[in-house]
Amino acid sequence: MKIRKRIYEIIEKAEDEDKLSHVYDISMILIIILSLVPLLFKQEITALKIIDKATVSIFIVDYLLRWITADYRFDKKGFFSFIRYPFSFMAIIDLISILPSLSIINSGFKVLRVLRMIRALRVVRVFKAVRYSKNFEIIGNVLRSSKDSLIAVCALAIGYIIISALVIFNVEPDSFDTFFDAVYWATVSLTTVGYGDIYPVSTVGRIITMISSLFGIAVVALPAGIITAGYMKELEKDKEE
């Protein structure tokens, strides 16, 4: 029991005085970065295969260690903790980052391999670093505390996109073949990216585009301000603690 508790203390968030836990966190971040190296190359190189197998083996051990100490994570809720853990968000991220590297999965899902989805899924490994960084923890707290405001802004943005798409789709039917094209245009206008592949040609359509772009600047700026304010608040709280 004491051994499992010590394992939990090491693999979970490091306390300031727990040097071994800090070493573990830093080591895992380096391993995560190393595991992404094979994705930088299209060629199947032996050294890269070894790196992939070695890093995924470490991820499997880390996953199992977190699973067997799940009762400490969920406040000692007994056997239910071990059932609950695989369905937690970070456990799912861990599992998704492991499965694409297993040869059984690669050989079993040939369609996914053809679509190169398995290779793409390995990028999920970068999200494993979230649990090892205090800064990511602060950002997570900011997102949780500002959830209602961000949801409201998201709803506003979706409403804007749909309304703008409906307006432009009816104003310029010749420029937009489908409603999806109009939605794509509205999204690009909201973010003020402006790829230029789809655009209105009439005077009314251009006026709508200008209004849409100006409104888009305000909508895009809202979540940035909310997150910044929340981040500063979390930093102040962290300093006080």
- Say if residue 235's pLDDT is above 80: no
Q: Of 85, 104, 132, which closes a domain?
A: 132
Task: Compute CA distances 60 → 44, 74, 103, 154, 223, whole Å.
Answer: 23, 21, 14, 36, 36
Read off the CATH number of the domain in which 92 is found: 1.20.120
Same domain, 111 and 228: no
Give residue 92's identity as a one-letter amino acid code: I
Return the axis-axis angle of helices 179-190 and 203-240, rounded to nearest 10°: 50
pLDDT digits (tens, 9 = 90+) for 193-230: 777 778 888 888 888 888 888 887 878 788 878 888 88
pLDDT given for residue 82 in this prediction: 86
Domain residues for the domain of 200 are 147-240
pLDDT given for residue 64 in this prediction: 92
Per-residue pLDDT band for 109 (boundaries 50, 70, 90) equals very low
The count of structural domains within the chain is 2
Same domain, 126 and 154: no
Same domain, 50 and 169: no
- Kindly report the pTM of this predicted structure: 0.58
Same domain, 61 and 16: yes
Q: Count of alpha carbons within 13 Å of 207, Cβ hemisphere only?
A: 5
Q: Which two tokens stand for residue 106?
A: 């690669």
Same domain, 191 and 96: no
Same domain, 177 and 220: yes
Same domain, 172 and 222: yes
Same domain, 212 and 179: yes
59 within a domain of the structure (yes/no): yes
**What CA–CA distance (Å, rounded) separates 5 from 24?**
15
Buried b / exposed e along 2-40 (16+ C-beta atoms within 10 A): eeeeebbbbbbebeeeeeebeebbeebeebbeebeebee
**What CA–CA distance (Å, rounded) separates 151 from 230?**
15
Q: What is the mean pLDDT of the chain?
A: 78
Closest CA relative to residue 31, chosen from 118, 106, 132, 140: 132
Higher pLDDT, 41 or 47: 47
Higher pLDDT, 117 or 149: 149
Same domain, 119 and 44: yes
185 within a domain of the structure (yes/no): yes
208 within a domain of the structure (yes/no): yes
